[in-house]
């Protein structure tokens, strides 16, 4: 006969297990902030001008990983956002660039022809036909959804579509991005059939005239944080004991950098606005969610090189890669070798060369022979440190770190055929005498060294100079939440960040 006290013991054991599951030690809210094109050294370049409640607060109250590097190339926006939240690299998650090929056709990172725009007044395909379906692995938000039986709420917001969509993940409740033609935020039918009433009201209050330059101004920073605050309030994120996630990306910093460079009034002003808006947003989190009840991280998708003309003015060697000139020279060289007029090169972008397979096959040429000749011709150009056949990287003499980044960044069928590595002092793009902007994409620390700060729930105060990688962020957050890491994760938890 089973004794009554034994039944009581079993009952208490089972109920305590259920209770433990229901009360897993987690914050009420996770907030991720990606500052597009934020170099790591901006933390210190503008430090004396930052407010106490903004970036300085993150640095003083939180934990800074001072030596965080991007573990692949090319170092560009879509790849950065996908890699941060999946904890893995393009060879796994499949977001090979801002644009790349799928089944031979060029697409954007978030192209999805099965969905349409929601909220756009004059929608076009690029603006509204967007979803995360090109991303082949899950995100922090997807892992959080599964861990809470899909009770967690997950949202993404940014001016750029890819910067809102990819971090939010496949299972997100919503992602909102800016439509310049409409002058407000939109989404797609992947998430919902119509905008929530609160989003319609927000858009009416904050509507801009069509084609207003929001992206390349501090106004874009303000609108993004205002929309993030509206999502926080209207969707009641962090209002109960089930952890939610809000992924925010600040896009204006990237557009300002591309236009005006890493120095000057415009760059200064957009980072001052970022600091101001961040401080106000942190105060709102303190009020709405409670100080110590949320976990926040701030990082970047990539950095940027200093403008070559500025560097040259101060006798620092620098230059820009004229992609059009390389394409023209390469076409001439291949025509001379194989004796066939036509288009051998389909596209050059993101430091990658896509050969025109259809043309090569149509003219009865050997694809491998064409590729080998293209590599040979490119290696004669001294502006390239290395030129690699993607399918034969392991057999080429390249420093280990650069080789690993090339391998990590290559996704067969999406990444093209040949990669080039520029010299450390070169920019990806032509730099005319009057050029004052910047760009990114290379393996160099200018493009690959990014900030990574954590603050809030269970975060230690301090910093580390230990080498960490951008993909370690997802593993760190998931370890802190006691949930499984994303299904394609390659990163490792940064244990110095948090209290166990």
Separation CA 131–CA 341 (nearest Å): 40
Contact 464, 99 (CB under 8 A): no
Return d(Cα 471, Cα 133) in angstroms, integer. 20
Where in 180-293 does DSSP place strands (E)? Answer: 184-188, 244-250
Alpha-carbon distance 331 to 324, whole Å? 11
Does residue 325 contact residue 464 with C-beta atoms inside 8 Å?
no
Cis peptide before 74 (omega within 30 of 0): yes
Q: How far is CA 153 from the centre of its chain?
A: 21
Backbone angles phi, psi at 205, to 5 degrees: -70, -30
Residue listed under structure tokens 């995100």 = 139
**DSSP state for residue 346 in the 8-state scheme:** E
- Cα–Cα distance measured from residue 397 to residue 433, given in angstroms and rounded to the nearest whole number: 35
Yes or no: say if 58 and 70 are a contact pair by the CB < 8 Å rule: no
Residue 305 is classified by DSSP as P
Q: How far apart are CA 440 and CA 100, in angstroms?
A: 17
Report the phi/psi class of residue 345: left, alpha or beta, with left for phi > 0 and alpha for psi in -120 to 50: beta
Q: Is 77 a catalytic residue?
A: yes
* Vertex 449 angle, CA 262 and 491, to 5°: 145
Helix (H) or strand (E) holding 106: strand 105-108
Q: Are 126 and 133 in contact (CB under 8 A)?
A: no
Rounded Cα–Cα distance for residues 444 and 353 (Å): 19
Characterise 98 by phi-psi region: left (phi > 0), alpha (psi -120 to 50), beta (else). Answer: alpha
Choose, from 68, 75, 77, 442, the residue flagged as catalytic: 77
Answer for the pair 271, 261: CB distance below 8 angstroms, yes or no: no
Active site residues: 77
């Amino acid at each position: 006969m089973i004794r009554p006290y034994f039944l009581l013991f079993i009952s208490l054991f089972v109920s305590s297990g259920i209770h433990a599951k229901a009360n897993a030690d987690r914050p009420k809210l996770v907030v991720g902030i990606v500052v597009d094109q934020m170099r790591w050294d901006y933390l210190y370049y503008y430090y004396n001008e930052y407010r106490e409640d903004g970036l300085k607060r993150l640095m003083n109250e939180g934990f800074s990983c001072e030596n965080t590097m991007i573990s692949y190339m090319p170092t560009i926006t879509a790849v950065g956002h996908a890699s941060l939240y999946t904890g893995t690299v393009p060879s796994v998650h499949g977001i090979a660039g801002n644009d790349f090929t799928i089944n031979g056709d060029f697409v954007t990172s978030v192209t999805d022809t099965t969905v349409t725009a929601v909220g756009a007044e004059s929608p076009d395909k690029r603006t509204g036909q967007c979803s995360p379906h090109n991303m082949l692995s899950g995100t922090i938000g997807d892992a959080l959804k599964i861990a809470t039986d899909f009770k967690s709420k997950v949202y993404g917001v940014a001016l750029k579509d890819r910067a809102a969509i990819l971090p939010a993940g496949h299972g997100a409740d919503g992602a909102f991005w800016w439509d310049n033609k409409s002058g407000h935020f939109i989404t797609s039918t992947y998430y919902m059939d119509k905008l929530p009433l609160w989003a319609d009201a927000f858009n009416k209050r904050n509507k801009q005239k069509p084609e207003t330059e929001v992206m390349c101004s501090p106004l874009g920073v303000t609108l993004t944080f205002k929309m993030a605050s509206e999502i926080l309030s209207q969707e009641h994120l962090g209002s109960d004991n089930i952890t939610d996630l809000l992924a925010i990306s600040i896009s204006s910093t990237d557009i300002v950098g591309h236009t005006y460079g890493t120095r000057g009034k415009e760059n200064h002003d957009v980072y001052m606005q970022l600091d101001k808006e961040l401080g106000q947003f942190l105060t709102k989190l303190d009020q709405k969610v409670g100080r110590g009840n949320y976990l926040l991280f701030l990082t970047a998708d990539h950095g940027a090189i200093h403008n070559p003309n500025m560097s040259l003015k101060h006798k620092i060697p620098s230059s820009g890669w004229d992609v059009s000139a390389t394409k023209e020279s390469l076409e001439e060289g291949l025509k001379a070798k194989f004796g066939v007029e036509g288009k051998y090169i389909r596209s050059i972008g993101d430091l990658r060369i896509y050969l025109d397979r259809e043309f090569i096959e149509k003219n009865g040429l050997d694809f491998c022979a064409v590729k080998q000749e293209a590599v040979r011709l490119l290696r004669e150009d001294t502006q390239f440190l290395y030129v690699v056949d993607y399918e034969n990287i392991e057999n080429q003499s390249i420093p280990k770190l650069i080789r690993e980044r090339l391998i990590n960044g290559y996704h067969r069928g999406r990444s093209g055929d040949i990669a080039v590595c520029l010299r450390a002092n070169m920019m990806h793009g032509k730099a005319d005498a009057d050029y004052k902007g910047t760009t990114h994409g290379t393996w160099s620390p200018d493009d690959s060294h990014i900030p990574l700060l954590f603050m809030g729930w269970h975060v230690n105060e301090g910093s580390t100079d230990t080498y960490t990688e951008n993909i370690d962020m997802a593993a760190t957050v998931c370890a802190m939440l006691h949930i499984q890491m994303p299904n394609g994760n390659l990163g490792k938890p940064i244990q110095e960040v948090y209290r166990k």
